[in-house]
Structures are given as C-alpha cells and as structure tokens.
Chain A
C-alpha cells in the first residue's frame, strides 16, 4: 500500500536514477557456443522507487545485478549495452572509479547472510570498514555510528553486538547486519539479490518489512531480485518478469497481479500460495529452463507454455509497450472482465 505522498515522490515525472538499456551478458564457454545469460534487458529505476526483477532460478537475475555492479569476472564474458547512473555509463568506468562508487552510490545485499560476512572479523568492524573507506571516518568515530546503524536495522543491544562475530548471530540478525553495512554510506540505489531466500518464512517477512521501511524512510531506490512473486507483491512498485535472460512482461505491481498477460507470469502467480485459496492445489509450471528454445527464432518459453500458437516456435516475440506495460508474447492471456 503506497501512500499518496510516496506516490508523489516517486512520481513518473522524476528522472530515472538508473537506466539499464539493452544489457547483454555473453559467457564464452570452452568448447561450447557462447551463452547469453542476459539478453537485451532494459529497465529503469527512479529515486525512491522499488523495481522487482522476478524469474525462476537461472533466468539471469544475478548476472544482471553483477553486471550493473561491475562485479562479473574480468575474463570469459562480454557485457554490452549501457547502465546509466545519472548520466554516467557505469559499464565504461575504470575499475578504480567503479570501486569508488560501489558501497557509496550503489550497494548490494546478497542471498546468503552467513557466507556474505567475513567470518573472522567482528560485525561492527565490517560496518566501520565501509564508513572508513567511503567517508574517511576514523574507526574510533565510526564505532558509535556502526552501533546506531545496527540499532536502526532492528538489532537489539547494538553496543554489545558490534563485537560479535557473524557465527554468533542468528540468520535474520546477520541479514539485518548486512543491510546495515549496505546502507552505511546512504547509497541512492540498493540491489537486493534474493535477500530472504536463505531465511525462515517468519524471518523473511520481517526482513522484507525492514527493507520496505528503510527504503521509504531514506528514499533509496531498490532493485529487488527474487524468484518469489510473493515477495514482490508487498514491496515493489514495478515488476519485471525475466525468462531466459529476457524481460517477458513489465508493469506496475497491481496490474501485473490483477491481470497477468504473459503465460509465464500467469504460471508463476498460479504457483504461489495465497491466503484465499488455501487447500487448492498449487500448479507449478511444467518442465524446466532446460527445455528452453533459443530466442533467436522462437519464444524460449514455448515448450512449457500452456497456450502456444504456431508462430511461437518459428518467430521471436518482441517486447511491445502499451499503456505503461510491456509484453513479449504472441498469444497473451485473455483479460477476464
């Protein structure tokens, strides 16, 4: 539920903070055809907006986020397109310039909170490290700030907890600490790559609520990456559905949930548990990404699609924009009226 004030702040007239345009990541594989993990992905995020990237495992979500952050391996892949951050193409920045921006302008929260923390450094020092790095604050002065940050993400007794090693914290608390570290330098954009996947269901809800609260308080733009449409439902303003490295459907949260047009989105919605359909069988999408056709001359989803038509296996559907939504499908789901 967004308040009118929020709507105004992230109104569509504000210029985007980040614009990803035609991003393509190709992995060279020894003795095999090159593999396009991300294939012409475009989307944008405005200040204060939360944009979801949703899709099954392997559809290219993490590769997209790593490409934006400039964290893909140096060798073995090719990144094309542009990632425009307020007029600067991040993809053409030098290593040093990009390093100066990471953690300061753009930060990231990863999936596994335990392995994402350095096991031999107390959590407090991992917070002060970023403050020292980007804001030139001395460790002594950064310590109380670290405690404040931990308190802000809901870690009780922060003055004691800053001395804890990661293994002394619970999973939820670790993820809170990682969020505190990511937000320490008040970045304007946060990328959260499956931030709740490794957590218990009850903790998941808490972490999502925390993220929502923080981005709303600070006006941070958020790219929320998940395979779980349920996560997107409560958090995102806009949803991008990825399949096989391409965006197949985009729209604001409510229209997407109310009337999904792409058969894949529809299938994803059919496979999340809902309160109002308790007891009904969930219908997972049949098959797996291994069945994909190449996008070059077909719809990659065709082998798993519930309503393919002939042209689906001979032509590539294009992403058509209309009325604030985008759709890549020859035979979209009928809108029930």
Chain B
C-alpha cells in the first residue's frame, strides 16, 4: 500500500536530512585552511571570500538587497499614498474600470483609482514583514525543538521528533491554509503564525540532525574529555557548529514563506484591509480584470517571483558553499 502523504513526508524528510548531512560547517572551514590566511581572519570572512566570486550568489544577493532596501524605504520611495484614490474620478465602471498610465502615475491606477506603482512599492513592505517574521518565528520554534531533541535523548527526543514527522507529512501549504483558516479574523499576524508553524518542523528536524552529528564529533568528545559543563558543550560546542545548514535553510525558507504568504493572501486569508497593499492580495484582486488588464496581475506576480528567486539563488549558493562535496 502506498500512502501518498507518507511518501510526501518521506521525501521532505530525506531532503532535510541531506541538508543536515552535507556539512556541519566545520568541514567547509577545514577545507578553507588550505588557503593561506592571515591569523585572526574569522570564519565568516573565509566563507565570504569563497562566495563573493560566485555570480549566482551575487545575483541573489543583489536582488534581495534591492528588495530589502525597497521595502524598508517604501513609504519614502513611493510617489503617492497607496491608500488614496487619486484617479477615482477617472474610474468608470462600465467603460474604463482601470485608469491607464498618465504623468505621475507610470503604471496607471487600480479599480478604485489608487496609484498602482506606489501600491507595488509599498506592497514589498508587507511581503518582507510576513516573510521575515514567519521565518524568524519558524526558526525560533525549530531551534528550541531541535536543540531540545538533539541535546537530550530518549523520550523527549522521540516525542518531539514524532510530532515533527507528523507535521512534515502534511503538505505545507495545506497546513498553513488550515491554520490560518482557524483564525477568527484574518490579519497579517495570522498569516505569519500560519506560515511560521509550517516551518517549525523543518528547522527542528534539520537542527536535530546536525546536533546529532555534533554530538558524535571529535571536538565534542575532546571537550567532554576536558570536563566542560554540559550546557557549554551544547551551546558553545554543538549549536554554533550545527547552525550552518540552518542558515542555508532559513534563506531558502524566506523564499517559500514569501510565496506561501502570497498564496494565502491571494485566497483572502491575509490582511483584509487593502489600504495596506500586499502582492498576493493585489494578485487576488487582479483576477476580476485579468482579461482586459492583465498587467494588474503581471506586476505583483513578477515581483513575487523575482524576490523568491533572489532568496532561492542566495540560499542555494550558500548551501553549495557549505557542501564539501560540491566545492571545487
């Protein structure tokens, strides 16, 4: 009997475990030792040295930097207030529901006369907030569970991991959808919590895997042989070395949270208040005009894709840089 959910869950577990197995950070750093380096150069510096020559990473970095800059300064950059229907008098529901471009309004307006260009720019803000907070919360939850499971063993570990595996076998968007549908009133925070919850088991399983590797590593044995306290072993000797794949995963998760957030907003599970624009929500609203004014859907969709691509490129090249097998 093949259970599709089990298969789905197993595939995800395998991918997470591959990421956990590929490196514990120390391997990558050990290799870097063959390059002659000045004393005192930090590990981050030597990883950066490898990455800054990688065009894929640089592309991703450029996109994400531009995006973050845009999101942070959106209110300053946007020429108009995204909530005010400047061109409302140009909207004629029968003949011309969407006012076209005109001086000062390069992309025209939406169906209630608000500057579409400004809405796109300000929309980046919500996307960043949802993506970052969802990842941060997911990471925090995953770190706590993963460290708990990886540092202890026995029933705590089994209990945590059993719960994690169950969650992993539910398709992530479906789970996020169910969680946000539970909320009495949708808002950007229910969105964030829904998406974060979906990421928790991913980070937890990943971190537990890398923690277990650390637990059987030589330098942890050496630290134990020096009588180092258990808390120091966990937090100084295991966790910092277990984080490499987690950082990679966090970058990739930013991309998926942005897409998931857009998908949920598109379905009306995000912030219902459209004075605060969001790309997924804009995409949802563009549906009714898709035949006459496809650009209303095209621009937010393109933004989502480009930003998600940026984080993915960055994450994948980080992953590659940390993976001893794929490095030349």
Contact = CB atoms under 8 A, between A and B. Distances in A.
Given A118-B237, A165-B43, A168-B39, A104 B227 contact: yes
B228 A120 contact: no
A163 B221 CA distance: 23
Interface string B31-75: 011000101111100100000000000000000000000000000
A108 B221 CA distance: 10
Interface in B213-256: 217-219, 221-230, 232, 236-237, 240-241
Interface stretch (A30-38, A109-117, A278-286, A315-323): A109-117
B227 A134 contact: yes
A100 B224 contact: no
B51 to A, nearest CB: 17
B26 interface: yes
B29 A116 contact: no
A119 B25 contact: yes
Contacts of A134: 227
A77 to B, nearest CB: 15
Given A164-B40, A165-B42, A103 B225 contact: yes
B32 A167 contact: yes
B248 to A, nearest CB: 16
B225 A168 contact: no
A103 B37 CA distance: 31
B30 interface: yes
A119 B219 contact: yes
A160 B39 contact: yes
Contacts of B43: 119-120, 165, 167
A112 B241 CA distance: 18
B241 to A, nearest CB: 6
Contacts of B26: 115, 119-120
A133 interface: yes
Contacts of B40: 160, 163-164, 168
A221 interface: no
Query: Which label, helix, strand, loop or mixed, suits the secondary structure of the B interface?
Result: helix
A292 to B, nearest CB: 27
A78 to B, nearest CB: 19
A116 B42 CA distance: 19
Contacts of A311: none
A178 B222 CA distance: 9
Nearest to A110: B222
Contact of B219 (A117, A130, A133, A168): A117
Interface in B177-227: 217-219, 221-227
A295 B169 CA distance: 51
Contacts of A121: 236-237, 240
Given A165-B43, A168-B41, A118 B223 contact: yes
Contact of A116 (B33, B219, B230, B241): B219
Interface string A230-268: 000000000000000000000000000000000000000
A227 interface: no
Nearest to B46: A167
A329 to B, nearest CB: 34
B33 A168 contact: yes
B218 A115 contact: yes
A129 B223 CA distance: 10
Q: Give the one of A69, A100, A129 with max B CB within 10 A.
A: A129
A120 B30 CA distance: 10
A327 interface: no
A167 B30 CA distance: 6
Interface residues of A, number: 34
A42 to B, nearest CB: 23
Given A121-B236, A163-B39, A178-B222, A115 B227 contact: no
Nearest to B33: A167
Contacts of A69: 225
A99 interface: yes
A133 B232 CA distance: 10
Given A71-B224, A102-B224, A115 B219 contact: yes
Contacts of A167: 29-30, 32-33, 43, 46
Nearest to B243: A120
Contacts of A168: 33, 37, 39-41
A101 B226 CA distance: 8
Contact of A110 (B25, B218, B237): B218
A108 B225 contact: yes
Interface in A115-149: 115-121, 129-130, 133-134
B227 A103 contact: yes
Nearest to B38: A168
A119 B30 contact: yes
B30 to A, nearest CB: 6
Contacts of B236: 118, 121, 129
A181 interface: yes
B207 to A, nearest CB: 16
Nearest to A184: B226
A46 interface: no
A299 interface: no
Given A112-B218, A168-B41, A130 B226 contact: yes
A107 interface: yes
A298 B228 CA distance: 43
Interface string B63-94: 00000000000000000000000000000000
B212 to A, nearest CB: 13
Contacts of B227: 99-104, 130, 133-134
A103 to B, nearest CB: 4
Contacts of B29: 119-120, 165, 167
Interface of A: 69, 71, 99-104, 107-108, 110, 112, 114-121, 129-130, 133-134, 160-161, 163-165, 167-168, 178, 181-182
Interface of B: 25-26, 29-30, 32-33, 37, 39-43, 46, 217-219, 221-230, 232, 236-237, 240-241
9 contacts: A71-B225, A107-B225, A116-B221, A120-B29, A129-B236, A163-B40, A167-B32, A168-B41, A182-B226
